[in-house]
Structure 1
Amino acid sequence: MKKLISYCLALTLTFAIYNTADAQVRKVPAEVTEAFRQKYPTALNVEWRDRLSGFTASFDQNNIHYEAKFTNKGFWQSTENKVPDADILPAVKEGFQKSKYAEEWSIKQAYKIDLREAKTQYRLDIQKNDILKKQLFFDSTGRMLRDNITL
């Protein structure tokens, strides 16, 4: 009987932790939501995530899905959206083709990232096999800025 009670208690605790793991840690500050509303007044289906160092809003606008990042004080950091393969800038494609990754790696997904000061970057998620994956960052001229290993 003690084992059954212990198992039930462990199961209940596990279930409680699992359900709260994805919950919002803290309330989104008014400065953040107001900054978001000013920048994206026509946004639909807005969902917020707490990133501890800031907040991320996932939303739809003009039939495109975006993610916008804001600081805790409501300063906009960046906005990104997926870009179909056909819409990847030719300069970015050329930059990838000139990189050391072009021969053995393939592009799995592309993203356009709008940054402060009207700067735009492009992120290519590339993959060599099921284990080796990277993110390459390019400017709009096709110059590779950096690469990151991903899991």
Structure 2
Amino acid sequence: MKLKIYTLLLALCVTWSLQSCDNDDDNSIAVPTELQNAFASKYPNAANVKWETKCGYYVADFYDGYEASAWFTQDGKWQMTETDIPYNALPQAVKTSFEKSEYASWKQDDVDKLERTGVETIFVIEVENQNQEIDLYYSADGTLIKSIVDTDDDNTGHLPVQLTEAMRNFINEKYPNAKIMEIDVEDDRNDWDFGYTEVDIIHNGISKDVLFDQTGDWHSTSWEVRQNELPEAVKNTINNQYREYRFDEAKRIEKADGTIYYRIELEKMNVDLEVNINEDGIVIP
């Protein structure tokens, strides 16, 4: 029953979103007084305010030192503000991290500050190199949360997903003092984890992905590890069985059933290989 209810709510949410994604500008919409008051209270110095609706949300485009867009629900609850900022306005820790990254030489296309209800502030640096475009998501302390291909989708994808109380309690108990940075529900029906909720957190300075299944139960947690952080047994297996390959990256994966293993990505010429190796150095499916 729990799964059926969860799936039904997800389906209704998707259906409502698809039906209400027509946009209207402020020439054709009436903004409730309560909503205007909520906006004015949050942004008292806002100028050039223009209202529109997107996917059932009221969106105020305005200027407050920088160009920004604030998203509110129909009942006036603030959800998100996306601010277009110059690179120099980034926290120093973010700039330092980016300038030491593999993308430092790429062209900077855009920089956004994302503030959202229920999650920490993140900074998105859009970079491009020839035909490649990547969005880099950083926490304020310079931790790279994720890097994804820029699809030029509208910013509805940045709207926060609300965690259940059980999910939030699990994270607080298993990962004390963790910062919740990003929440996504997998929406590709062709993927094995369709309907799963992925929560990006920073725990003890490490960016981790916490995955909950369709019923809201914890499925697994994964995070990137350096080659020198791998257990000796894992490194020995790589050296003995895959010595002709070049190490690319690795993730540690902890599952709810107690299984712990490392997903290793290797390269050889134009061949990419992914292998799973447990802590004892045994290759597993």
Is the 8 Å Cα contact of residues 78 and 116 (structure 1) preserved in structure 2?
yes
- Is 2:112 aligned against 1:111? yes
In structure 2, the CA distance between the partners of 1:52 and 1:27, relative to structure 1 (3 Å rule), is farther
**Quick one: which amino acid aligns to residue 132 of structure 1?**
Q
- Is 2:92 aligned against 1:90? yes
- Is 2:62 aligned against 1:59? yes
Partner of 1:121: 122
- Alpha-carbon deviation of 1:76? 0.8
Is the 8 Å Cα contact of residues 121 and 140 (structure 2) preserved in structure 1?
yes
- Is 2:78 aligned against 1:76? yes
Instruction: Point out the more displaced range, 71-80 or 114-123.
Output: 114-123
Partner of 1:14: none
Instruction: Point out the more displaced range, 93-102 or 72-81.
Output: 93-102
Identity %: 29
**Quick one: which amino acid aligns to residue 137 of structure 2?**
F
Instruction: Give the Cα separation in 1 of the matches to 2:39 and 2:92.
Output: 31
- Alpha-carbon deviation of 1:123? 1.0
Q: Secondary structure at the match of 1:86?
A: helix
Partner of 1:47: 50
Q: Structure 2 length as normaliser, TM-score?
A: 0.39
Instruction: Give the Cα separation in 2 of the matches to 1:150 and 1:133.
Output: 8
> Larger % of helix: which?
1
Structure 1 residue ranges without an equivalent (≥5): 1-20
Is the 8 Å Cα contact of residues 113 and 123 (structure 1) preserved in structure 2?
yes
- Alpha-carbon deviation of 1:97? 3.5
- Alpha-carbon deviation of 1:118? 8.0
Is the 8 Å Cα contact of residues 135 and 150 (structure 1) preserved in structure 2?
no
Partner of 2:140: 140
**Quick one: which amino acid aligns to residue 66 of structure 1?**
A
Instruction: Give the Cα separation in 1 of the matches to 2:117 and 2:137.
Output: 16
Is the 8 Å Cα contact of residues 47 and 59 (structure 1) preserved in structure 2?
yes
Q: Which has the higher contact order (CA 8 A, sep 6+)?
A: 1
Cα displacement string for residues 53-109 of structure 1 (whole angstroms, at most 9, x for unaligned residues): 312111122x43221111222111122322222222221123324444345x33222
- Alpha-carbon deviation of 1:145? 1.8
Is the 8 Å Cα contact of residues 29 and 52 (structure 2) preserved in structure 1?
no
Is the 8 Å Cα contact of residues 23 and 55 (structure 2) preserved in structure 1?
no
Q: Please provide the CA RMSD for this pair.
A: 2.6
Instruction: Point out the more displaced range, 46-55 or 92-101.
Output: 92-101
> Which runs of at least 4 in structure 1 moved beyond 4 Å after TM superposition?
none
Instruction: Give the Cα separation in 2 of the matches to 1:43 and 1:87.
Output: 19
Instruction: Give the Cα separation in 1 of the matches to 2:72 and 2:92.
Output: 30
**Quick one: which amino acid aligns to residue 40 of structure 1?**
Y
Q: Secondary structure at the match of 1:119?
A: coil
Q: When the two structures are aligned, how many residues end up with a matched partner? A: 128
